[in-house]
Amino acid sequence: MGFCVFLLLMSISVSLVPIGAGEGIIVPGRYVSANQSIISASGTFALGFFSVGNSTPRYYLGIWYNKIQKKSVVWVANRESPTDSLGTFSLGVDGNLVVLDATGKIVWSSNVKIAHSAINSMMGVLTDSGNFLLRSGETILWQSFDHPSDTFLPGMKVGNNRKTGQRRQLTSWIDAEDPQPGLFSFGLDTTGPLQFFIWKDHVPYSRTNVYSNSMSLTKLSRWLPFAYYVTVKLEGDDIYLSYSISDISVILRITLVPNGRLEALIWEEKNSKWFSIWQWPQVYCDFYGHCSPFSSCDKKGSPVYCQCLTGFQPKAQQEWHMRNWTSDTCVRQKALTCDKDDGFLKIETIKLPDHSYLVENMSANDCESRCLQNCSCTAYALVNASQGNSINCLSWYGDLMDIVHDIGGQILYVRVHDRELVENDGSSDNFSSRRKRSIIILVAVISLGVLAILSGYFTWRKRFGKQEIIEGSFSGTSTPIGGEAGNGDTKLNIFSLNRIQAATNDFSEDNRLGEGGFGTVYKGDLAFQEVAIKRLSKKSGQGLEEFMNESKLISKLQHTNLVRLLGCCAEGEERILVYEYMRNRSLDKFLFDPSEKANLNWSKRFRIIEGIAQGLLYLHKYSRLKVIHRDLKASNILLDDAMHPKISDFGLARMFGSDQTEADTKRVVGTYGYMSPEYAQYGKFSEKSDVFSFGVLLLEIVTGKRNAEFFRNDLPQTLQGWAWELWNEARGLDLIDPSIKDSRESPDRIFRCIHVGLLCVQESPADRPTMPLAVQMLSNDNASLPSPKEPAFSSLSRRRSGNFVAFHNTSTIYSNNELTISLPEAR
């Protein structure tokens, strides 16, 4: 944070006397050791040390929610100067809050100038709002709220002081486990009128609308049990944004997460997790400048987001039609000549452009006249016009950047050299002619629309009519994805093939992330974020059915442990899906690579197991669609920056009705070794099919062994058969991956995971637990578990002599070093 260290404080550690944890205050000459913390009056927040990293831990002084078991840090003192050993913190002899390492060296200080006469009355207090105060009597000399980290708490102010130059802004962590300052920051713009930005490495990343003065918003949510109040206020020299909520018992925080988004989170006590209720930026138009100058971004636009303003046209029509909106630009249809023919075109409901200039207390006529008399003025806007004759005047000079059409937006007057265009835009004298013209246009549009619908229908019948037969060939009652009654199709971002090619450098080998049976995955950059682009193979088994399956299904599913689909592309024979990019790739890359598996300690592995279980639980029980995944395996588990798992690849998934428990199909698809016996042999699938796959995956995570190894090395057993044998011989320790055998964790939890895994891979679906029960078994160390029966496919000899002989006569697809099988349809 750039704070200076005073030499006077170097002698503190010699004379300090410990203070008891939980007293809520700290006074000069007292210190708090690493295993203690200060607790706020009601026990809501705690101030103390926490650590990150495993091999070389780093220690930070921070504030977190004391009553939440999962430590959620909201403020960090020494985020730029962590210590490599446990230390202490104290109020120094000069009254400042200081952090000392194990040698007594000061590594951080609040560094506020305190009068010598005030030091004796100094006190540090942690409040129930999460604010740590340094005060002398009733005078606050320093507070943590003035030096935010990544979290915006109720009552905190984000903004600037025009007199002192102090800036209060959020700065993201590097990643979920590293609190050092990341690339993103959020705060008030200091170069112009009142507006807030998210910056990425000091470059605009997203922007709010322009506020001319103080404003407040009170809103009662229809689905949240409290109201919230948002205030943008000019108070003396202080300009700031703050918020509060009506129910103080609700635990709510807004965090600038490492990927650059502001996210509002509520703590769910029942499920013991944070629940996201709002994110920004979220849609395409939320990101800064993704449409060229003099064009607007329409949040409801799909697939076309950017449109040139009236009176402007694309400079290069071909580039514009290819949706290269950031590389092309909009130019005037008629150049300005700065004469009597110039006028202002009224554009409504927009987020005003960036780079405006504010003149306060001016009439509406004077604002327009002022802009018209300056040939460089390209637009103006009136704000606070309802408060009387005196308003604030905003004006723009040069390009109009980052315009967004949005509900609740403001009015912008854009300068054009076309008097007729301006006069026809809003005058009542031309209402009749405009109405007639609108009716003619409406009739023409409706006629063309009907023709387009009929043409599209017959084209669809001709091209995809066969698809109806394929869908109808399933003998079960499971509904193909996209066929949910009454809901209609979910909107997706539709990307052009040209844009996908540009994002991947024309599917360059340098951008290739991996290859599976259904196609190749590339890394791409779509300007607003890095993405993973899955290009389906024309020779793969995944045709239009699976493509529509995956795209429509994932767009309807929202869970922290499911991969997020951002959009798709379907041009010609190309079938492309665009996902959020997972920097840590898939689980199998860590789990089965000898050079990588050491990075998966037991705590990370168990967190991955829990995440996969929660994702499956959501699919089976809590999503508005009941979904059977049918292809759960290590290569289909992606890991985010914090190594949290996300279930991916829904190409084989099926949706069930709310009362449906089982379905069957003549087209058996899946991955050898993960398929349940009833599905592999008879085509019957249910929730218990996914439970079987989860059991195999759980055993893989604990043992570090790929189940496919047992098929290729001509071993007499399968993975579950090997685990069953050692389990019965009380040799459970031999099952544990050697890279985690030295874990400090108790082996009891590891054994419990093996036990649950064996329960999940039992022969009969009735013997396997449901996912709610499996989650309970994993999370409750005191829950009693039944004894498992011998697993299905425990030996390869039984498999080769039984129904699996059919596999020798089927086509095979190799995917991620695993065998994916697809049985032919019965004829």
Which residues are designated catalytic? 631
Contact 507, 514 (CB under 8 A): no
Residue 567, beta-bridge partner list = 493, 578
Beta 45-52 vs 37-39: how paired, if at all? Answer: antiparallel
Give me the count of residues in the chain: 827
Residue 479 is given by DSSP the state B
CA 440 → CA 420, 539, 660, distances in Å? 20, 49, 51
Collapse the DSSP code of 639 into the 3-class scheme (helix H, G, I; strand E, B; otherwise coil) and give the result: strand
Give me the helix-helix angle, 687-703 and 602-617, nearest 10°: 170
Residue 530, beta-bridge partner list = 525
Contact 47, 127 (CB under 8 A): no
Contact 713, 821 (CB under 8 A): no
What is the 3-state composition of the chain as percent helix, strand, coil, each rounded to the nearest 5? 25, 30, 40
Which position has the token pair 């979904």? 627
Collapse the DSSP code of 160 into the 3-class scheme (helix H, G, I; strand E, B; otherwise coil) and give the result: strand
Contact 745, 604 (CB under 8 A): no
Give me the helix-helix angle, 544-556 and 431-472, nearest 10°: 120
Contacts of range 746-754, beta carbons closer than 8 Å, 24 or more positions apart: 748/781, 749/602, 749/606, 749/781, 750/602, 750/702, 752/777, 752/778, 752/781, 752/785, 753/606, 753/609, 753/698, 753/701, 753/702, 753/778, 754/698, 754/699, 754/702, 754/723, 754/727
Cα(529)–Cα(701) distance, integer angstroms: 31
Which position has the token pair 């290269």? 324
Cα(379)–Cα(163) distance, integer angstroms: 31
Contact 259, 268 (CB under 8 A): no
Which position has the token pair 């802009």? 371
Residue 49, beta-bridge partner list = 61
Contact 95, 140 (CB under 8 A): no
Closest by CA to 630, choosing from 564, 680, 594, 585, is 680
Burial environment of residue 337 by CB neighbours within 10 A (0 to 12, 13 to 18, 19 or more): exposed
CA 300 → CA 295, 297, 438, distances in Å? 15, 9, 22
Contact 54, 81 (CB under 8 A): no
Cα(712)–Cα(796) distance, integer angstroms: 11
Residue type, 497: L
Is 633 annotated in a binding site? The answer is: no
Contact 757, 725 (CB under 8 A): no
CB burial string 740-774: b at 16+ within 10 A, e below: beebeeeeeebbbbbbbbbbbbbbebeebbebeeb
Collapse the DSSP code of 523 into the 3-class scheme (helix H, G, I; strand E, B; otherwise coil) and give the result: strand
Residue 437 is given by DSSP the state H
Cα(697)–Cα(645) distance, integer angstroms: 13
Burial environment of residue 557 by CB neighbours within 10 A (0 to 12, 13 to 18, 19 or more): buried
Cα(670)–Cα(658) distance, integer angstroms: 24
Q: Which residue numbers belong to the known binding site for ATP?
A: 534
Q: Which residue numbers belong to the known binding site?
A: 534
